[in-house]
Amino acid sequence: MKKYNFYAGPAILPQEVFKEASQAVLDFNGMGLSILEISHRSAEFQAVMDEAYELVRELLTLPDHYEPMFLQGGASGQFGMIPMNILGDNETAGYVNTGNWAEKAIKDAKLYGNVTLLADSSDKNYSYIPKEYSIPTDLKYLHITSNNTVRGTQYHSLPDTEVKLVADMSSDIFSRPLDIKKYGVIYAGAQKNMGPAGTTLLIVDKNFLNEPVRPLPNMMNYQNHISKKSSYNTPPAFAVYVSMLTLRWVKAQGGVKAMAKKNIEKSTLLYNEIDNNELFFGTTAKEDRSQMSVTFKLQDEELTNTFLEKCAEAGCVGIKGHRSVGGFRASIYNAMELEGVKTLVDVMKDLGSKKG
């Protein structure tokens, strides 16, 4: 039976990527060596890193003064590294709290400078993206989490400000075009929409970054990673390689514009079923619904096990909602086929026809 992977992360990747990566584990580019054992200083691996850099630049149309980096520590590692490198002791950063990941970013940022909470959607269980709030013009940066995997909300328009944005894009990077000039920093754990767990993509505007605002350990200093092209120490070579293959695949599909079109089609299909099937209801404000993380619940929770069993029988795995909120969550990242969403919708229709 074909399986459709709706897990939030580590998440679905294209089958073509799995096949090429598995071959490289046995024999990378005919070297007679595995990608897991070649030197990160070798010409062969440097070619991987160079291509990954260029694909990021091409797909996101990065100007020359924006620098990609492949680091370690996940997006969670950047919660502290960003203010550590950028936020001076007497400077203030604005944060918008839209859920779990934003909360953690706020907590770490407070260790390195002043943090002002500009907006907070906890009053309605993080079911919406705050919009009506003032943004001081003297902020060092404004931090947002572009997609909330746990609660199922996503920014569909950016805050109206000249203040540079710092954005956690772990779960929607490369899913749609970006207005890159609005961002000072973009960061994303690879394991949700770009590659396997183990590397984190960081994109910084070097004009915004400047020099570190405090003494830093060498591994925490962005300038060291920029100057060494993500090889200041041994990089997470396999994770970078698989991310590079995934970016190749995105390019072959037509780039981020093509991804956006497919993602809208998939999410629209699923949300239409949620809205029209009397057994289910969505958990987020309609205008803020995520195209990546679709959250919903049953009107009658006693049907939960029945629904999950039917999903499993149809090959739909990973539907159960985050442990902190319950219900259901369908992560429909770039590599999720329309066929997978149609299969899930068919399960929902079938349950509705029998129980409605």
pLDDT at 355 over 80: no
What pTM value is reported for the model?
A: 0.96
pLDDT tens for 120-152 read 999 999 999 999 999 999 999 999 999 999 999
Same domain assignment for residues 33 and 123? yes
End residue of a domain, out of 190, 221, 252: 252
Q: Which of 108, 164, 172, 192 is catalytic?
A: 192
Q: Which of 101, 108, 262, 266 is catalytic?
A: 101
pLDDT tens for 224-276 read 999 999 999 999 999 999 999 999 999 999 999 999 999 999 999 999 999 99
* Residue range 271-287: mean pLDDT, rounded: 97
User: Lowest-pLDDT range, 12-16, 46-50, 177-181, 206-210?
Assistant: 206-210
CA 15/CA 12 separation, integer angstroms: 9
Same domain assignment for residues 162 and 277? no
168 carries an active-site annotation:
yes
Q: What CATH number has the domain bearing residue 300?
A: 3.90.1150.10
Domain that holds residue 47: 15-252
**What does each C-alpha distance from 65 to 22, 188, 209, 281 come to in angstroms?**
35, 19, 10, 45
End residue of a domain, out of 252, 268, 291: 252
Same domain assignment for residues 303 and 345? yes
261 carries an active-site annotation:
no
CB-count exposure of residue 6 (10 Å: 0-12, 13-18, 19+): buried
- pLDDT band (50, 70, 90) for residue 352: confident
Same domain assignment for residues 105 and 117? yes
Cα torsion 280, 283, 286, 288 to 10°: value is -150
Q: Which of 108, 168, 205, 288 is catalytic?
A: 168
For position 37, what pLDDT does the model report?
97
End residue of a domain, out of 252, 279, 311: 252
Token pair, residue 162, equals 């000249």
Contacts of residue 153, defined as CB under 8 A and 6 or more positions apart, other chains included, come to: 98, 99, 121, 126, 127, 128, 129, 147, 284, 285, 288, 289, 290
Same domain assignment for residues 188 and 64? yes
Same domain assignment for residues 219 and 341? no
* Residue range 279-288: mean pLDDT, rounded: 97
CB-count exposure of residue 286 (10 Å: 0-12, 13-18, 19+): exposed
Q: How many domains does the chain have?
A: 2
Q: What CATH number has the domain bearing residue 115?
A: 3.40.640.10
101 carries an active-site annotation:
yes
